[in-house]
Amino acid sequence: MNVMVIGSGGREFAIGRALSKDAMVQKLYFAPGNGATDRLGENVAISDYEALALFAKERGVDLTIVGPEGPLVDGVVDIFKAHGLTIFGPSKAAARLEGSKVYMKNFLAKYGIPTARYIETDHIETAYKFIATLALPVVVKADGLCAGKGVIIAQSHDEAKKAVGEMLSGAAFGDAGRKVVVEEFLDGYELSMFAICDGEEFILLPAAQDHKRLLDGDQGPNTGGMGAYAPTPLVDDVIYEKVKTRVIRPTLEGMRAEGCPFEGVLFIGLMIVGGEPLTLEFNVRFGDPECEILMPLMQTPARELFYKAATKQLDALHVSFSNQYAVGVVMASRDYPYHNSMPAEIIVDEIIHEEIAEHAHICFAGVGSQDGVLMATGGRVLVCVGLGESIREARDRAYMLCGQVHFAGKKLRSDIAYQAL
């Protein structure tokens, strides 16, 4: 089978890494990939989706997997399907679950899926009135995609009003903020769950916990994620069952009723409050770095899982997971998440320690290559993933590997998985 992965981050590297170990995968393409994915397959520098679909047809690509939300929201799946290609990911219509917070919240309300109490509006006075009824802090969200910056947790009513004003005027996020969601703050612990969906059936992966803040102890600004681990002991069978019956089933049924069945990865951002899972957000793709730690826990080949999901055969698939734990530690560049950093050479020591060689690996993300030298090109540069029989063992191995990787300005958290330890 020939497979193409769309995207260029650590998430796509992790998917490609799993595919590259699969004897059933003949050709592996990345579009556009990064400076390290060309070690796993071939990078394709085509950004136009029509042209990419033609390339996929010409090269006999049997399955395309889409990593990031951008191409999904832009309708890459619809374009590939119109060409008769098999592609794993939601349609443009289904991707609205991530592309519009207003759509998502209204969807949750319509289908009775538990979430924070909210209003959505494009009217400033309506927002102000609702803000006045809420206890502090107050959560304000821009409707559209804002690269992870569209959520404000306001510590005063004035701050919430100011955030709403800046969003609605277009000053904060342009058109992405012309509508807002204002909601109550939920106090609990946060989890990510991922369901691989084929429109009707789904496979739920082990629950993961991300670390969104830049600094140890969950301090500092929000980032795309500085590390993650799975499975988290914060989830028991009761919570898994509640998520399946109260969130995923009604979502799949609702999306069918709306005329846009959900195929792809449903990423459910949950807040567990008093044992009850409340849906904070949906994304329509894998999390990054969550994907990097979930891939190595899957014993069923990724190719088979994604292909069966893309061809509506999940009902006939039994998926098994390893009983190990995985911890991923992100190494970011010096000025992340504020500015781009100067490119810096990445040096990985020769890994002679058997424990790291066999139980840890690197997923490359923000990297380029220059005359065969791997360069950190900014943002989140790479993820060191450790596997083990316990979270502690997996974490120790991930950090041992981090100690072997060097580039100027490297930045990482030292407390990944602390909530579980």
Shortest CB 283 distance to ligand GLY, Å? 6
How many binding residues for ligand AMP (CB under 6 A)? 13
Q: CA 236 → CA 102, 122, 241, 325, distances in Å?
A: 31, 40, 9, 15
Please state the closest distance from residue 287 (CB atom) to ligand GLY, in A. 4
- Residue from 117, 116, 113, 110 nearest 247 by CA: 113
In angstroms, give the least distance from the CB of 55 to ligand GLY: 27
Query: Contacting ligand AMP (CB under 6 A), which of 55, 111, 185, 418?
Result: 185
State the minimum distance, in angstroms, from the CB of residue 365 to ligand AMP. Answer: 20
Listing DSSP states for 45-75 in one string gives ----HHHHHHHHHHTT--EEEE-SHHHHHTT
Six-digit token string for 206: 């082990």
- Please give the order of strands across the beta sheet that includes 276-283: 202-204, 189-198, 263-273, 276-283
Per DSSP, the three-state class of 262 is coil
Task: Give the shortest CB-146-to-ligand GLY separation in angstroms.
Answer: 12
Task: Tell me: does residue 290 bind ligand GLY (CB under 6 A).
Answer: yes
> CB-side exposure of 248: number of CA atoms within 13 Å?
28
Q: 337-354 burial, b if ≥16 CB within 10 A, otherwise e?
A: beeebebbebeeeebebe
Q: Which of 89, 144, 277, 287 binds ligand GLY (CB under 6 A)?
A: 287
How many residues in the chain?
421
Please choose which of ligand AMP, ligand GLY, none residue 116 contacts, taking the beta carbon within 5 to 8 angstroms, the exact cut-off set by kind: ligand AMP
DSSP 310-359: HTT-GGG----B-S-EEEEEEEE-TTTTTS----EE-EE-----HHHHHH
User: Of 69 and 263, which CB lies nearer to ligand GLY in the complex structure?
Assistant: 69
φ, ψ for residue 58, nearest 5 deg? -60, -40
Identify the CA nearest to 362 among candidates 8, 3, 17: 17
Q: Which of 224, 227, 366, 378 binds ligand GLY (CB under 6 A)?
A: 224
The reply to whether 283 sits near ligand GLY by the rule CB under 6 A is: yes
Q: Residue 218 or residue 304: which is nearer to ligand AMP going by CB?
A: 218
Residue 192 or 324: which CB sits closer to ligand GLY? 192
| Choice between 9 and 287, CB closer to ligand AMP | 287
Report if residue 104 touches ligand AMP, rule: CB under 6 A: no
**CA 408 to chain CA centroid, nearest Å:** 27
Nearest approach, Cβ of 219 to ligand AMP (angstroms)? 14
Nearer residue to ligand GLY within complex by CB, 194 or 307: 194
CB 248 within 8 A of CB 265: no
Asked if 292 interacts with ligand GLY (CB under 6 A), we say no
Q: Is 273 in the site for ligand AMP (CB under 6 A)?
A: no
Q: Which of residues 40-69 bind ligand GLY (CB under 6 A)?
A: none
* Candidate residues 99, 177, 225, 328; the one interacting with ligand GLY per rule CB under 6 A: 225
139 belongs to the binding site for ligand AMP (CB under 6 A): yes
- Residue 186 binding partner per list ligand GLY, ligand AMP, none, with a CB distance cut-off of 5 to 8 Å that depends on partner kind: ligand AMP
Alpha-carbon distance of 89 to 310, in angstroms, equals 8
210 belongs to the binding site for ligand GLY (CB under 6 A): yes
Q: Return the range that interacts with ligand GLY (CB under 6 A); candidates 20-28, 77-85, 280-288, 371-379.
A: 280-288
State the nearest-atom distance from the C-beta of 243 to ligand GLY, in Å: 17
Tokens read off for 244: 């399946």
280's contact among ligand GLY, ligand AMP, none, with CB below 5 to 8 A by partner kind, is ligand AMP
Q: 9, exposed or middle or buried, with CB in 10 Å at 0-12, 13-18, 19+? A: buried
Residues that bind ligand GLY (CB under 6 A): 210, 224-225, 283, 287-288, 290
By the criterion CB under 6 A, which residues form the site for ligand AMP? 116, 139, 141, 151, 183, 185-186, 190, 212, 269, 271, 280-281
